[in-house]
Chains A and B, each alone.
Chain A
Amino acid sequence: MRPGAFLRLRRDALIFAVLLACYVLLSGVVTNSYYQLMLTLVPIWAVMGLSWNLFSGYVGLTSFGHAVFFGLGAYTVALTMNAWNLTPWFGIPLGTVVGAIAAVLIGLPTFRLRGHYFALAMLAFPLVLLYVFQYLGYQEVSLPMKREQPWAWLQFTDPRGFTLVALGLLAMAFGISLAVENSRFGLTLMAIRQNELAAAAAGIDARRAKMAALVLSGAIAAAAGGLYACILLVVTPDAVFGMLTSAQALTVAMFGGVGTVWGPLIGAAVLIPLAETLHAELGNIIPGIQGVVYGLAIILVMLLAPEGLFWTLRDRFARGAVPPEPGPAPVLPTLTLRAPAAAGPVLRVENIGKSFGGLRAVDGVSFAVARGEILGIIGPNGAGKTTLFNLLNGVLPSDTGTAWLDGEVITGRPLHAICRAGVGRTFQVVRSFPRLSLLDNVLIGAYGAGLTGAAATRAAEVALARTGLAAQAQREAGALTNKELRLMELARAVAGQPHLLLLDETLAGLGREECEAVLSVLRELRAAGMTIVIIEHTMHAMLKLADRLVVIDRGRLLAEGAPRDVVENRAVIEAYLGRKWMAKTCST
């Protein structure tokens, strides 16, 4: 569980319980069976929205095809009831299993795709199944009516029974969502949403986490579909696999707010009654008018509250929190390093190379990094510096050469495994999770490195203290300055307790004073025993910080040595520093 999650959990669960009680009371006084049906549909679509949010909201891969799980759940219930006389009380759990299996089968090929391609691929699955079920002759499967003990078959003469069952399902889905949102797993998913590469660099096995989220999400959607079948009475491919089903899941979540458990609840509570009331009141007078009004309502909310109602309302009313006063300067806590007590260089690189088509981005580079050293890597834009980092920590596979970390080969190992071996990495462009607190942002690094529970929290707090951000721990990352963001990214890498840090332009865009502050943090880290390799363009900073410089030009190693020697090297001046630099250094 994440730090502070318990309080949050207790508060959210309490609010939910109160709302649930009110809803049950409301359902008790509604006697009109059509409005009661509406009261049943709200929790069902809320569950569907929660399911969508659990995957697309947290992982950030938009799914246009959640109907596939919904439909499979519905057909599982309808077909098993017809074929084996199985009650939906068992049919729905069976449906969740089918949904989970479908999620695995869908995830395996689809996770290779990203962004729009993923969304489009997901769109195809329910459409394919729609035709498959038509072909199989399941155009309409009705749930046999049971006259003896109808409740045993999830059939109620009093429609309030359905509302109660739907609320029960909602409570389960909400509980699962709440647990995920407040857990290490949820934080992991949000990390993937922000930047899959950065998440993997922080040690997270993104593929596995995405799969787990889709399986959970698919199972929940299938449960909603199974219950929906009991209300639908007649299951048709269009009703459960149709485009509208997927859209509905997406709409309630987007309307209410993506990435929070409350979003789908708000969306369903507003949109479903709106659509159904319009349908009931106007459906017979102007068929189709409800669709127009519904569409307009959605457009309006998207314009006025683009992040969804929940976030907009929260920003307006609950943003009272002033950043806390900085406390007395903290004593720097000791840094735990997971460094083996091996002798020899931390990192050794031999003849490493990578081509993109005809371009030799990195061409046979060899160097070594001694324990406790700060090695600067400099070179003109496009020299291959970032590509070199990408080869070292497994973002890209190398074509030639080998790299050893503490004497063990790391080339060819996956990104998250290299991270767990003790290599931390920051990126040129800071990827923060703006809605999360600073502490949560940094925790992701600790979780990625395989730390759990209190140990992870401790590591994150230590990292924040070492980067001077301890006082800001509870602030949202979205409110930080550029310097604080750079430090936060550094803290995220440090939280993984690496003994080798790969920093990619950590000083970019910082003023002179800010630069000084970051430099002192880096020196402290080195003093605590960390080895640092840094790419940087700010030469003055580099001269002050680095013990040694490596110069790369057009993929090749151009020079190597003490900073003063390197900057006076004629080849380096020609290739990178330029004649002005020479003039300046000669005059001083």
Chain B
Amino acid sequence: MTRLAMTRRGLALGAGAATLAGRAGAQAPAEVKVALLAPMSGPWARQGQLMKLGAEMAIDDINAGGGIKALGGAKMKLVIYDAGDSTEKAKNAAQRMVAQEPDIIGGTGAWLSSFTLAVTEVTERAEIPWLTLSYADSLTSRGFKYIFQCSPTADDQATKTLPIILDLAQRATGKKPLKLGLIADNTAAPQSFVKPIRATEAARHGLSIVVDETYTPPMSDATPLVQRVRGSRPDFLLFIATNIPDDKLFMEKLNEYGLGPGRLVTIGNGGHMATPELVHVTSPKILEGLMVTMANWAGKGQETLVRRFAERTKEPWMGQDSIMPYADMMILREGLERAGAADRRKVAEAIRGFDLKDTGPAQYFPSKRLSFDDRGRLRDATLITVQWKDGVPHPVDPPAIATATAFWPKS
């Protein structure tokens, strides 16, 4: 007991000393720490890996370009924390991050909305500016001041998804779909996505919901879900999951039942449904025609970025989960430059004051605009759609970033 207490005190003193050192060097720090807190283990680990690739590339680009000029060329340093596979682990990681890195000035994470909800409860209290690609509306409806949501919210996506899909169907087939199927997992973002569709949006567009199922991820067997889909025969299906294992199980089962995207138009949501893994663990045929809506994609105009990314990471394309953290690091750099100090509160203040168009970090967003409202939501957040074709997802909407034309599979 005594020895343990000693060790604890020793550690505490060590931490105190670190804080002092940080303060003394605040005039011209040699490096500024930013954080990536994302799932590096568990079912969401692949998303975390993709985020890491994007964030690391941004850090290298920033440091190669001379670091933070307003801080005398200070280098940016990325610290990575594993959010694990549960809300509790994510929050625990955030608490460790706050304790062990007293001088971080901002960060991004934690991919899954549920994790981000927990993580920002900690970062908000520590007043760390926190950027996130998570979708849930609840993230930015708690009155928090240090969170910046860089994606359209789930609510917003739900409202925007149906007109895009219906328009596409109309153009491709000349007929308007009438029956909608809904499958969603029970985590925060999918639930806040399906809620408005159930409540108002389906009715607004003259759609009747013929199947509506919720499951707890990770999925153990897709058969009962797919059987219900088959039994109710929707004209198109919204499948709102959050991880690749669930995507694989469900898409394979759909195909097994003869309901692949070639027969039944299926629309997914989120970066995980457009990762190279998904095609590796399934096949181009299974995914052919699958459409996925999400918050960002490196499309038209980002060719150089995508090529450099592919060269350094061997990843075939740069999707939402890599370009978003890349953009986040650029936002933090811009914030540091404007704040002129390695102070998290001043950086947050600078980010709140952003109103950028076509320049700086704004060029990494589909709307090419960067400005946050007082809740911390991105103004003009645009929903993008990609479609799988021959084993590769191509952005098909909005036209500003589209590299291919959408097609409505003919059954």
Say what secondary structure dominates the interface of chain B: helix
Instruction: Flag if A239 contacts B87 (CB, 8 Å).
Output: yes
A446-493 residues at the B interface, CB under 8 angstroms: none
Instruction: Flag if A236 contacts B15 (CB, 8 Å).
Output: no
Known: A239-B86, A284-B81. A269 touches B11 (CB 8 A): no
CB contacts between A and B, total, < 8 Å: 104
Instruction: Flag if B142 contacts A31 (CB, 8 Å).
Output: no
- Choose one: B5, B15, B95; the contact of A37 (CB below 8 Å): B95
Instruction: Flag if B99 contacts A34 (CB, 8 Å).
Output: yes
With the chains together, A140 CA to B187 CA distance in Å? 8
Residues of B within 8 A of A270 (CB): 1, 4
- Choose one: A31, A142, A277; the contact of B118 (CB below 8 Å): A142
- A13 interface hit (Cβ, 8 Å): no
Q: Interface-forming stretch among B119-127, B172-180, B316-324, B359-367?
A: B119-127
Instruction: Flag if A236 contacts B87 (CB, 8 Å).
Output: yes
Residues of A within 8 A of B143 (CB): 145
Q: How far is the CB of B325 from chain A (nearest CB, A)?
A: 18
With the chains together, A34 CA to B40 CA distance in Å? 21
Instruction: Flag if B99 contacts A33 (CB, 8 Å).
Output: yes
- B353 interface hit (Cβ, 8 Å): no
Q: How far is the CB of B196 from chain A (nearest CB, A)?
A: 16
Residues of A within 8 A of B186 (CB): 134, 137, 139
With the chains together, A239 CA to B41 CA distance in Å? 18
- B144 interface hit (Cβ, 8 Å): yes
- A273 interface hit (Cβ, 8 Å): yes
In the complex, the chain B residue whose C-beta lies closest to that of A235 is: B87
In the complex, the chain B residue whose C-beta lies closest to that of A32 is: B15
A325-368 residues at the B interface, CB under 8 angstroms: none
Q: How far is the CB of B170 from chain A (nearest CB, A)?
A: 35
Q: How far is the CB of A293 from chain B (nearest CB, A)?
A: 15
- B227 interface hit (Cβ, 8 Å): no
In the complex, the chain A residue whose C-beta lies closest to that of B145 is: A147
Instruction: Flag if A279 contacts B92 (CB, 8 Å).
Output: yes
B149-200 residues at the A interface, CB under 8 angstroms: 186-188, 191
Of A29, A32, A277, A279, the most chain B CB neighbours within 10 A belong to A32
Instruction: Flag if A234 contacts B100 (CB, 8 Å).
Output: no
Instruction: Flag if B11 contacts A35 (CB, 8 Å).
Output: yes
Known: A134-B216, A234-B121, A283-B96. A35 touches B8 (CB 8 A): yes
**Interface size range of chain A in the complex:** 35 or more
- B399 interface hit (Cβ, 8 Å): no
Residues of B within 8 A of A304 (CB): none
- A280 interface hit (Cβ, 8 Å): yes
- B384 interface hit (Cβ, 8 Å): no
With the chains together, A30 CA to B99 CA distance in Å? 11
Q: How far is the CB of A227 from chain B (nearest CB, A)?
A: 16
- B84 interface hit (Cβ, 8 Å): yes
Instruction: Flag if B188 contacts A26 (CB, 8 Å).
Output: no
- Choose one: B91, B93, B114; the contact of A139 (CB below 8 Å): B114
- A511 interface hit (Cβ, 8 Å): no
- B65 interface hit (Cβ, 8 Å): no
With the chains together, A87 CA to B132 CA distance in Å? 30
Q: How far is the CB of A78 from chain B (nearest CB, A)?
A: 12
- B16 interface hit (Cβ, 8 Å): yes
A262-303 residues at the B interface, CB under 8 angstroms: 269-270, 273, 277, 279-280, 283-284, 287-288
Residues of A within 8 A of B5 (CB): 26
Q: How far is the CB of A208 from chain B (nearest CB, A)?
A: 38
- B117 interface hit (Cβ, 8 Å): yes
- B88 interface hit (Cβ, 8 Å): yes
With the chains together, A273 CA to B88 CA distance in Å? 17
Residues of B within 8 A of A143 (CB): 121
- A578 interface hit (Cβ, 8 Å): no
Residues of A within 8 A of B92 (CB): 279
Instruction: Flag if A30 contacts B12 (CB, 8 Å).
Output: yes
- B328 interface hit (Cβ, 8 Å): no
In the complex, the chain B residue whose C-beta lies closest to that of A288 is: B41
A-B contacts, 15 listed (Cβ < 8 Å): A26-B9, A30-B9, A32-B11, A32-B12, A33-B98, A139-B186, A142-B142, A232-B88, A234-B87, A239-B86, A239-B87, A273-B8, A283-B82, A284-B80, A284-B81
Interface residues of B (CB under 8 A from A): 1, 4-5, 7-9, 11-12, 15-16, 19, 40-41, 80-82, 84, 86-88, 91-93, 95-96, 98-100, 114, 117-118, 121-122, 124-125, 142-144, 186-188, 191, 216
**Other A-B pairs, 8, CB within 8 Å; known A139-B187, A273-B8, A287-B82:** A26-B8, A35-B99, A142-B117, A236-B114, A269-B1, A273-B4, A287-B40, A287-B41
